[in-house]
Amino acid sequence: MAKSNLKPIGSHVIVQRSSAADVSKGGIIIPEKGKEKPKEGKVLAVGNGKMLEDGKRQAMQVQSGDRVLFSSYAGTEVKVGGEDYVVMEESDILAVIA
């Protein structure tokens, strides 16, 4: 990703979804339409935080490079330069994978 192309604002983050498995645990090849979208990805960029009522910014809890879990319907899928990304609120992230 060319980071200059997408820069999140406020409490938004840019996530690149992990790729879906091509083969099930039992060895069955899964067709493209049958694949479930992974609920895991890598944070590529973070905004500068949510603006609070007192004019200060709330610090972001995630940072670039974090592997995160998110809900199935979190964020908005976008395609930039042939790559797929998900733009979501930081609050849509359920956990950081350690």
Q: pLDDT of 31-72, one tens digit each?
A: 666 556 778 999 999 999 999 999 999 999 999 999 999 988
Q: Is the pLDDT of residue 1 over 50?
A: no
pLDDT of residue 81: 86
State the pTM of this model: 0.78
pLDDT at 2 (0 to 100):
42
Asked if residue 88 lies in contact with residue 74, where contact means CB atoms within 8 angstroms, the answer is yes
User: Please, what is the Cα angle at 27 between 26 and 28, to 5 degrees?
Assistant: 100
Q: Sheet with 83-89: list strands edge to edge.
A: 76-80, 83-89, 12-17, 40-46, 67-70, 93-97
* Higher-confidence position of 86 and 31: 86
What CATH number labels 12-97? 2.30.33.40
In the chain, domain spans? 12-97
